[in-house]
C-alpha cells in the first residue's frame, strides 16, 4: 500500500494537477473552435448567407474584443467597470457631433480620445483617490454617462439618433483592417501585460494589495494606468462601432459593460484577477460570446420564438453557461482560501 505522503503519491498528485491545469487552459480555445463549427453548421443548414453572418461576427466581436482587452487591466487589479458601455456610447455620440460641426476627421478622433480616456480617468479618480467603492462608482458613472449621451442624442438628432457620413470611418469597415487592428492592440497590451513591470505589478496588486503596498507599489498609479488602457479600448471600440454602423442611438453599445465580464470569463480568466489574468482571454472569450449569442438567436428563430422572447432566452442560457464556466475554471485553484 502506497503511503499518501510518499514521493510516489506526491508525484502522482503533481502530475494530476498538471494535467488538469493543461485541460482547463485549453478548454476556452476548444470551446471557441466548437462554437465556430456549430455556428457555421447552423447558418448553412438554414441556407443563410454565411459570409454575411461572419461579417456580423467580426463587427460585433471587434468592438467587444477591443474594449475588453483594455478592461482586463482593470479586472487584473481585482476591480471592474460596468460603465464602459456607457463610455463607448458617449464617445461615439460626441464624435458624431464633433464631425457634423467641424467636418474635421482628425479633430473628431482627437475629441473621441479625450472623451474616452477622460471618462476612465474620472472613474479612476473617484475609485482610487476619493476611496469611493468601485461598485458605487461604476454604477453611478454608467447612469451619468448614459444620461448625458441620451440627452445629446435627443437634443441634436432625430427619432432615429445621430448619423455620421459613412465616408468618415467607412474605410475601416473591412474584415482585414479589423483583424489587423485587433492583432496590434492585443499584442501591444500583451507586451505591456507580460513583459513590463506594469503588468507584473498589476498582477501583484490583484493577488495581494496589502503585500504590494508594503513593497512600495502605488495602487493609485497602477489603477490610473489600468483605467487609461481601458479608455483607449473604449475609443477604439467607439470608432469601429461607427465604421459599420454610422448611426448612434441610445441603445448603442448598451450591453458592453456586462458583456466584457462574461467574455473574459469565457476566455479562461478568473473574475478575481491577479496572476491568473490573461490578455488573450478577451480575444477568445469575446468571439466565443458573440458566436454563442448569434447561434442561439438563429436556433430560437428556427423554433418560432419572436425577437423579444429570443433575447430573453439567450440571456438565460448565456448566464447558465457563464456559471458553468466559472465553476469549471475554479476547479483548478479551489481551496479553503479565496485566490486573492
Cα atoms in the Cβ-side hemisphere of radius 13 Å centred on 333: 19
How much is the mean pLDDT over the chain? 84
Instruction: Identify whether 319 is part of a domain.
Output: yes
Return d(Cα 5, Cα 323) in angstroms, integer.
Answer: 35
Instruction: Identify whether 14 is part of a domain.
Output: no
Instruction: Identify whether 94 is part of a domain.
Output: yes
Buried b (16+ CB within 10 A) or exposed e, 269-288: bbebbbebbbbbbbbbbbbb
Return d(Cα 261, Cα 54) in angstroms, integer.
Answer: 23
Q: Which helix (H) or strand (E) holds 163?
A: strand 162-163
Query: Read out DSSP for 193-259?
Result: HHHSHHHHHHHHHHH-HHHHHHTT--HHHHHHHHHHHHHHHHHHHHHHHHHH--EE-TTTTTTHHHH
Instruction: Identify whether 21 is part of a domain.
Output: no
Instruction: Identify whether 193 is part of a domain.
Output: yes
Question: Residue 19 contacts by C-beta under 8 Å, 6 or more apart in sequence?
Answer: none
The whole-number pLDDT of residue 220 equals 83
The whole-number pLDDT of residue 1 equals 46
Q: What is the DSSP letter of 170?
A: G
Structural domain count of the chain:
1
Q: What angle do CA 325, 330, 335 make, to 5 degrees?
A: 165
Question: Residue 241 contacts by C-beta under 8 Å, 6 or more apart in sequence?
Answer: 63, 88, 92, 252, 253
The whole-number pLDDT of residue 21 equals 65
The whole-number pLDDT of residue 129 equals 67
Tell me whether residue 131 is exposed, middle or buried, using C-beta atoms within 10 angstroms of its C-beta: 0 to 12, 13 to 18, 19 or more: exposed
Instruction: Identify whether 221 is part of a domain.
Output: yes
The whole-number pLDDT of residue 297 equals 87
The whole-number pLDDT of residue 230 equals 93
The whole-number pLDDT of residue 82 equals 85
The whole-number pLDDT of residue 15 equals 62
Low-confidence ranges of the chain (pLDDT < 50): 1-2, 334-340
Mapping DSSP onto H, E and C, the string for 267-281 reads CCCCCCCHHHCCCHH
The whole-number pLDDT of residue 106 equals 94
The whole-number pLDDT of residue 189 equals 95
**Domain housing 52:** 31-330
The whole-number pLDDT of residue 125 equals 81
- Contact between 262 and 289 (Cβ < 8 Å): yes
The CATH number given to whatever domain includes residue 144 is 1.10.3470
Return d(Cα 300, Cα 294) in angstroms, integer.
Answer: 10
Buried b (16+ CB within 10 A) or exposed e, 64-94: bbbbbbbbbbbbbbbbbbbbbbbbbbbbbbb
The whole-number pLDDT of residue 159 equals 63
Question: Residue 3 contacts by C-beta under 8 Å, 6 or more apart in sequence?
Answer: 9
| Radius of gyration (C-alpha) of the chain in whole angstroms | 21
Amino acid at each position: 500500500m502506497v503511503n499518501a505522503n510518499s514521493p510516489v503519491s506526491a508525484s502522482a498528485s503533481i502530475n494530476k494537477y498538471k494535467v488538469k491545469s493543461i485541460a482547463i487552459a485549453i478548454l476556452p480555445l476548444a470551446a471557441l473552435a466548437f462554437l465556430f463549427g456549430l455556428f457555421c453548421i447552423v447558418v448553412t443548414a438554414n441556407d443563410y448567407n454565411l459570409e454575411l453572418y461572419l461579417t456580423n461576427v467580426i463587427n460585433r466581436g471587434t468592438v467587444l474584443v477591443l474594449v475588453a482587452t483594455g478592461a482586463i487591466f482593470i479586472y487584473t487589479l481585482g476591480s471592474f467597470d460596468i460603465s464602459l458601455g456607457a463610455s463607448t456610447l458617449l464617445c461615439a455620440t460626441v464624435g458624431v457631433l464633433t464631425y457634423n460641426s467641424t467636418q474635421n476627421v482628425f479633430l473628431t478622433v482627437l475629441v473621441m480620445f479625450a472623451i474616452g480616456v477622460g471618462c476612465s480617468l474620472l472613474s479612476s479618480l473617484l475609485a482610487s483617490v476619493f476611496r469611493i467603492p468601485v461598485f458605487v462608482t461604476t454604477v453611478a458613472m454608467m447612469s451619468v454617462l448614459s444620461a448625458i449621451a441620451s440627452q445629446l442624442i435627443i437634443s441634436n438628432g432625430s427619432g432615429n439618433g445621430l448619423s455620421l457620413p459613412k465616408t468618415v470611418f467607412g474605410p475601416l469597415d473591412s474584415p482585414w483592417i479589423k483583424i489587423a487592428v485587433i492583432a496590434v492592440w492585443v499584442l501591444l497590451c500583451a507586451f505591456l501585460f507580460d513583459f513590463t513591470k506594469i503588468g507584473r505589478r498589476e498582477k501583484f496588486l490583484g493577488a495581494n494589495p496589502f503585500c504590494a503596498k508594503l513593497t512600495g507599489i502605488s495602487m493609485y498609479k497602477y489603477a490610473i494606468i489600468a483605467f487609461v488602457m481601458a479608455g483607449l479600448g473604449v475609443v477604439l471600440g467607439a470608432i469601429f462601432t461607427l465604421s459599420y454602423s454610422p448611426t448612434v442611438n441610445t441603445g448603442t453599445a448598451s450591453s458592453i459593460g456586462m458583456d466584457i465580464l462574461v467574455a473574459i470569463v469565457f476566455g479562461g480568466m478568473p473574475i478575481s484577477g491577479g496572476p491568473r489574468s490573461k490578455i488573450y482571454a478577451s480575444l477568445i472569450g469575446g468571439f466565443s460570446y458573440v458566436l454563442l449569442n448569434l447561434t442561439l438567436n438563429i436556433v430560437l428563430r428556427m423554433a418560432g420564438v419572436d425577437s423579444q422572447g429570443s433575447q430573453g432566452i439567450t440571456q438565460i442560457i448565456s448566464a447558465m453557461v457563464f456559471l458553468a464556466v466559472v465553476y469549471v475554471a475554479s476547479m483548478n485553484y479551489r481551496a479553503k482560501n479565496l485566490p486573492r
